[in-house]
Amino acid sequence: MSATLLLEQLINGLQLGTMLFLMASGLTLVFGVMGLINLAHGAFYMVGAYLTAAVTAASGSFLLGLAAGLSGAAAVGAVVELVVIRRLYHRPHLDQVLATFALILIFSEGTRWLFGSSPLWLNTPEWLAGHVPLPGGARYPLYRLVIIGVGIAVAVGLWWLITRTRLGMRVRAGESDREMIGALGIDISRLYTAVFALGAGLAGLAGALVGALQSVQVGMGEPVLILAFVVIVIGGIGSIKGALLGAVLVGVVDTLGRVFLPLAFRAVLPPAEATDVGAALASMLIYILMAVILAFKPRGLFAAHD
Amino acid sequence: MTDPTPALSARRPSRRLGRQGLVQLLLLALLLALPVAADLTGHPYYVTLASRLTLIAMAAVGLNLALGYGGMISFGHAAYFGLGGYVAGIGAFHAFDMTPFLGGIPGSDNLLVLWPIAMLACGLLALAIGAVSLRTSGVYFIMITLAFAQMVYYFANSWPTYGGQDGLPIYLRNQLPGLDTQEPLTFFLICFVGLVLAMALTSRLMGSRFGAALTMARLNDTRLATAGISPTPIRLVAFVISAMITGLAGALYADLNGFVSPSMLSWHLSGELMVIVILGGVGRLYGPLVGAALFIGMETLLGGLTEYWQLFLGLTLLGVVLFARQGVMGWLAGREPHA
């Protein structure tokens, strides 16, 4: 069983990792370019999932739902940036934390008001519901592989956008010197809105994709948000490369830990206790990983600046 | 007797009760008088509500020491609040079951035993978390304290001995020799004394050499280092004391509710404690009390009107952060005399 199980769990970990990357890349871009810490990023994940579920239910097309989730989250992100976020760029981090915490409350309760407390259901579309055979005889759900594919496509797309396009050039310039690119005649506020909307759209995409695996409910973005924080702290805040590496690391370590730690403890403890101790320890594993990495590299693996 | 120069009078708090002193005295008197009146008129619900307010305020007093005075934006103080609660809960659990803790230690329902243990446990946890987190600063510090608190949260969630997700009931409130802790007013007075002691400790600390060093560590740590004092140990000590105060509040809070669960460790609670400190006024002795009163007041009044009261809490908070940066204490009592 071991090799197949390991392969299956590795792919599971990779899938969690790509999801985290979709969240973390937006967070880290917004911090890198605007210097803003955004707790409300999980709200866009939730908005994406709700819009996708609602539009899919109304139209019957998952692709249409996905498009609505992605573009809707980006649009909500742009509005939030225009109304609230742009007042926060020059504020201390404490103010940013509080204002975006307030946004979480507003979004969570607002969604509960609109959609009610019971979760929405979003099914995997039929044409993605099949399984793919793995070497060793096991079968793996196609949909999860598609998520990994989307994640890779986004990573490549972001790399192209940042290193090969004019917008990307401005983003990189903004990361190294905010005032200078303003002085060079580039409309910073439009750039900021665009970057923020891009991050929100990616979070919305993540929420939409995961919505078909889990239930769509209020507060669904928060556990993912905190994992995304761990990812960007490990990777180095502001670095997309760090976000990618951190996301895969966290995804794989978390998934493998949950499966194999209880098994490992069975060698030394009675089965019931081994499961308890293993599960408790597995839930702490990525935080321990973070602490160890920070002990050696206080600014993460790929610190972007200062 | 000549008038002191303005510079001197700004440094030395005058013996006269200023506007701030008057407001502070009034606040404490109100907090004490209202529950006593509620108890006399037979409304124990309001006594319990006041106990809750007092304990939330006390937890925020702890956070204020790190966040307000020390400039350490801890987004993980729920870890200490919850750990304190779990010490009270686990002590009661083993005392009730007559089973030992970790092989040999007997359970206890004596608060004089549980409180020091709660504070010690929180102090040790804060020492470990602080030692790692204080290597970083800024956004990293915020996220790391949050992440470590989540670690404790998930640990409590997945550890089934003490109820896991379902939490742990405390069937009988833990005991204090000579007092009936089940009596709502008695328990409120215990909480009130706790809050006053926590505030007195904060005030004494901040008036001491240590407090001056902590303030300097917040304002300009290079200058502090130039004066021959290393900033990190100062910060770490403040962080640990801050966690111990919050932990004691958590232990009392678990006893108040007769229940402790992972929700006492959740990051929402960390956020709410920050909100309370900010609403009241950052780095002001009475800020946490005002913030807690405002928070509990909104929860009680708006929560009675609408299920979605947190929406309005969010809007209020957004308004305060964007437009009213002094907090309510700044609005009530004016600027800090020596800001």
User: Residues of chain B with pLDDT > 70: what percent?
Assistant: 91
d(CA A40, CA B338): 35
What residues in A contact B325, CB-CB < 8 Å? 95
pLDDT on residue B283:
81
pLDDT band at residue B64, thresholds of 50, 70 and 90?
A: very high
Q: Cβ of B165 under 8 Å from any chain A Cβ?
A: no
d(CA B218, CA B185): 39
Tens of pLDDT, residues B267-288: 999 999 998 998 888 888 888 9
- Best of B73, B141, B150, B219 to disrupt the A interface (most A CBs within 10 Å) is B150
Tens of pLDDT, residues A64-80: 999 999 999 999 999 99
Give the gap in angstroms from C-alpha B160 to the nearest C-alpha of chain A: 7
Q: Average pLDDT in the B98-113 region?
A: 80
What residues in B contact A300, CB-CB < 8 Å? 140
What residues make up the domain containing A290? 2-296
Cβ of A113 within 8 Å of Cβ of B308? The answer is: yes
d(CA A61, CA A52): 10
The structure tokens 């769509």 sit at: A216
d(CA A27, CA A161): 16
User: What mean pLDDT is reported for chain B?
Assistant: 87
Chain A contacts to B (CB-CB under 8 A): 31, 37, 84, 87, 93-95, 97-99, 101-106, 108-110, 112-113, 222, 226, 229-230, 232-233, 237, 276, 279-280, 282-284, 287-288, 290-291, 294-295, 298-300
Distances (CA, A) of A100 to A103, A104, B100, B282: 5, 6, 45, 18
pLDDT on residue A272:
78
Answer whether residue A61 is part of any domain. yes
Give the gap in angstroms from C-alpha B108 to the nearest C-alpha of chain A: 25
pLDDT on residue B325:
66
pLDDT on residue B252:
96
pLDDT on residue B53:
95
What residues make up the domain containing B48? 41-267
Cβ of B161 within 8 Å of Cβ of A110? The answer is: no
Q: Which strand (E) or helix (H) includes residue B168?
A: strand B168-169
Closest B-chain CA to A89: B322
d(CA A257, CA B278): 39
Distances (CA, A) of A31 to A175, A189, B2, B140, B318: 9, 15, 55, 11, 20
Lowest mean pLDDT among A290-304, B133-147, B296-310: A290-304
Lowest mean pLDDT among B74-88, B277-291, B318-332: B318-332
d(CA A270, CA A276): 10
Answer whether residue A304 is part of any domain. no
Q: What are phi and psi of A163, to 5 degrees?
A: -95, -15
Q: Average pLDDT in the B309-325 region?
A: 85
Cβ of A103 within 8 Å of Cβ of B154? The answer is: no
Q: Average pLDDT in the B299-320 region?
A: 87
The structure tokens 């939490």 sit at: B167
Answer whether residue B193 is part of any domain. yes
Three-state DSSP state, A40: coil
Closest A-chain CA to B323: A87
The structure tokens 């249409």 sit at: A64
pLDDT on residue B209:
94
Q: Cβ of B305 under 8 Å from any chain A Cβ?
A: no
Answer whether residue A154 is part of any domain. yes
Give the gap in angstroms from C-alpha A134 to the nearest C-alpha of chain B: 32
pLDDT on residue B304:
83
Answer whether residue B137 is part of any domain. yes
Answer whether residue B27 is part of any domain. no
Q: What is the CATH number of the domain that holds A53?
A: 1.10.3470
Residue among A303, A93, A290, A24 at smallest CA distance from B129: A290
pLDDT band at residue B82, thresholds of 50, 70 and 90?
A: very high
Of residues B124 and B161, more confidently modeled: B124
d(CA A107, CA A110): 5
Closest B-chain CA to A96: B321
Predicted model pTM: 0.88
Q: Which of B139, B148, B317 sits opposite A31 (nearest CB)?
A: B139
Residue among B8, B59, B6 at smallest CA distance from B250: B59
Given a cut of 70, is residue B338 above it in pLDDT? no
Answer whether residue A306 is part of any domain. no
Answer whether residue A69 is part of any domain. yes
What value of ipTM does the predicted structure carry?
A: 0.84
Tens of pLDDT, residues B83-95: 999 999 999 888 8
What is the domain count for chain A?
Answer: 1
Low-confidence ranges of chain A (pLDDT < 50): 306
Q: Average pLDDT in the B118-136 region?
A: 94
Residues B77, B56: contact at Cβ < 8 Å?
A: no
pLDDT on residue B190:
95
Answer whether residue A303 is part of any domain. no
Distances (CA, A) of B186 to B38, B176, B183, B292: 13, 11, 5, 21
Answer whether residue B293 is part of any domain. no
Task: Give helix A221-235 / helix A188-211 axis angle, nearest 10°.
Answer: 120
d(CA B28, CA B162): 37
Answer whether residue B218 is part of any domain. yes
- Best of A27, A39, A84, A106 to disrupt the B interface (most B CBs within 10 Å) is A106
The structure tokens 């007093």 sit at: B61
Answer whether residue B4 is part of any domain. no
The structure tokens 């006594």 sit at: B47
pLDDT on residue B106:
79
The number of C-beta contacts closer than 8 angstroms across A and B is 119
Three-state DSSP state, B326: coil
Answer whether residue B287 is part of any domain. no
Q: Average pLDDT in the B116-144 region?
A: 92
Cβ of B310 within 8 Å of Cβ of A109? The answer is: yes
What is the domain count for chain B?
Answer: 1
d(CA B282, CA A136): 60
Three-state DSSP state, B76: coil
Mark residue B167 as left, alpha or beta (left: phi above 0; alpha: psi -120 to 50; beta: remaining): left
Q: What are phi and psi of B167, to 5 degrees?
A: 85, 180
C-alpha dihedral (B216, B222, B224, B228), degrees to nearest 10: 170
Q: Which of A95, A104, A112 sits opposite B308 (nearest CB)?
A: A112
Tens of pLDDT, residues A118-131: 888 888 888 888 88
Lowest mean pLDDT among A91-95, A100-104, B19-23, B308-312: B19-23
